Structure 1
Amino acid sequence: GGSPPAPRAPTAPGRIVLDRVSYGYAVGRRALDTVSLTVEPGETVAVVGASGAGKTTLAKILAGVLPPDSGRVLLDGAPLTALPADVLRRRVVLVSQEVHVFDGTVAEDLRLFAPGATDAGIRASADRLGATPWLDALPEGLGTRVGAGGHALPAARAQHLALLRLALVDPGVALLDEATAEAGTSDADLLENAAAAALTGRTGVVIAHRLSQAARADRIVVMDAGRIVESGTHTELATAHGPYARLWAAWNHAR
């Protein structure tokens, strides 16, 4: 027929769906076992659970870094496997615990993934993410050399830089496998606020190592042995006498 071509879908929404996804690193041991999860555009979902529950595997599969053994991952209805790598990298960004600081100036580091970012754009994002005070305190500000042989950045600063990169790339979907667990309390609070600012206006999945961060999310899913065992808001789950309520009680007791 002579039907007009379908209009190109806008890249903004960022609805991501895991449809019965399984993944195993070794035969007989599933890191993810038939997991289904839908994250709506603009929603922030925190993923919590014990070490080895499958949280990081989930983040890598959502980012398209690992292909699932079975099931599918859809971004706005299209399978991730159907998207060209460069398109996928712009639309879904994973900030993992292993943050790399690249050789060059801070500004060059930030422009690696967002070549079009202006100094004014970088400054606006730094203001929004609370990074301006320490960036301004560097010997030459945005012109300070970092990376091998440059000004050494502590882990929390490197993580902050990674969140700044995320904000500059401006993807529809942001996945944070947060490394705030190792940070001191003041750094962790700063990074949590920066993460919340970086997620504003986009779809977010946060692997939350600190439950204070999970409590801020729109929805929490609890993982255990590769499965989602509980899902709801912080208020619902904290009063439900289930796995999350136990995690929350232990977290508050340990603080």
Structure 2
Amino acid sequence: MVAVVGTTGAGKSTLAQIAAGLAAPTSGTARLGGIELVEADPGSLREQITMVSQEVHGFATTVAENLRVARPEADRSALVAALESVGAGWVGHLPQGLDTEVGQGGYRLDPMQLQMLALARVALADPQLVVLDEATAEASSAGARRLDDAAARVLQGRSGLVVAHRLSQAVAADRILVMSAGRIVESGTHDELRAAGGAYAELSRAWFGG
């Protein structure tokens, strides 16, 4: 897991879009398995890389069909397993469970619930690489920990590039990239970067205190 941190406008989201194959680099290359992402087959690319952003997307249909966007052939047991994998047991308490109509004209889900469905779709898709671009940023303070836990579960056993909205998300990363003005200015673990006394240490003091 690689976490990306930095101030607003540092280039974090652009880096995430390039890593997900949604944007081409203006210079340099982005490769997966030796193949440049811009030259990869889009269908094959989507099977290997999945991105979840802070923009919450839900469809005006049932919860089940919202999940099947990721895997149309998934049976109900697979849907339930995906929901359980991200801690979305609340679906079982909806009026019709998986068959509850949501979205316009249906049951209204809050941002945290919509993001949990998005993360459950990732579990269904089962990609090699998960790119999370501030995917837990829309949650209220009460839901932030639940979404962080859900994201951590989705990343288990997969490679992850996480644009961290809260610095606490970066602490457990294998490596942290600190960006400024479109460039990586520091790289290392949380403890290494704290000890270095640079940009990350300053961010860390502002976030954690001390």
| Aligned-residue offset at 1:169 | 0.4
Structure with a larger share of its residues in strand: 1
CA distance in structure 2 between the partners assigned to 1:46 and 1:192 by the alignment: 13
Q: Which has the higher contact order (CA 8 A, sep 6+)?
A: 2
Sequence identity percentage = 53
Listed as ranges, the gaps of 5+ residues in structure 1 are: 1-43
Select between 170-179 and 181-190 the one with higher mean Cα deviation.
181-190
Of 155, 161, 176, the match for 1:220? 176
CA distance in structure 2 between the partners assigned to 1:157 and 1:88 by the alignment: 27
Q: Which residue of 2 is the match for residue 193 of structure 1?
A: 149
CA distance in structure 1 between the partners assigned to 2:75 and 2:169 by the alignment: 31
Counterpart mapping for 1:152-163 below 5 A: 152-163=108-119
Of 131, 155, 166, the match for 2:88? 131
Of 123, 133, 144, the match for 1:167? 123
| Aligned-residue offset at 1:97 | 1.1
TM-score (norm 1): 0.79
1:220 alignment partner, SS class: strand
CA distance in structure 1 between the partners assigned to 2:202 and 2:123 by the alignment: 34
What per-residue deviation string (whole Å, max 9, x for no partner) do you get for residues 99-150 of structure 1?
A: 2101110000100121122211121222221111x11121111111112211
2:13 alignment partner, SS class: helix
Amino acid in structure 1 at the alignment position of 2:154: A
Aligned residues: 210
Q: Which residue of 2 is the match for residue 62 of structure 1?
A: 19
Counterpart mapping for 1:105-116 below 5 A: 105-116=62-73
1:87 matched to 2:44? The reply is: yes
Of 132, 136, 139, the match for 1:183? 139
| Aligned-residue offset at 1:96 | 0.9
1:192 alignment partner, SS class: helix
Amino acid in structure 1 at the alignment position of 2:51: L
Of 189, 194, 210, the match for 1:238? 194
1:90 alignment partner, SS class: helix
CA distance in structure 2 between the partners assigned to 1:186 and 1:240 by the alignment: 33
What per-residue deviation string (whole Å, max 9, x for no partner) do you get for residues 172-218 of structure 1?
A: 11100124234223311011111011011111000001111111211
TM-score (norm 2): 0.96
User: Does the CA-based 8 Å contact 2:85-2:120 persist in structure 1?
Assistant: no
1:46 alignment partner, SS class: strand
Listed as ranges, the gaps of 5+ residues in structure 2 are: none
User: Does the CA-based 8 Å contact 2:59-2:66 persist in structure 1?
Assistant: yes
CA distance in structure 2 between the partners assigned to 1:126 and 1:211 by the alignment: 26
CA distance in structure 1 between the partners assigned to 2:140 and 2:146 by the alignment: 10
User: Does the CA-based 8 Å contact 2:175-2:187 persist in structure 1?
Assistant: yes
What per-residue deviation string (whole Å, max 9, x for no partner) do you get for residues 64-118 of structure 1?
A: 1111112111001111122111111111111011121011100001001211222
RMSD: 1.4
2:25 alignment partner, SS class: coil
Of 198, 202, 206, the match for 2:158? 202
User: Does the CA-based 8 Å contact 2:54-2:138 persist in structure 1?
Assistant: no
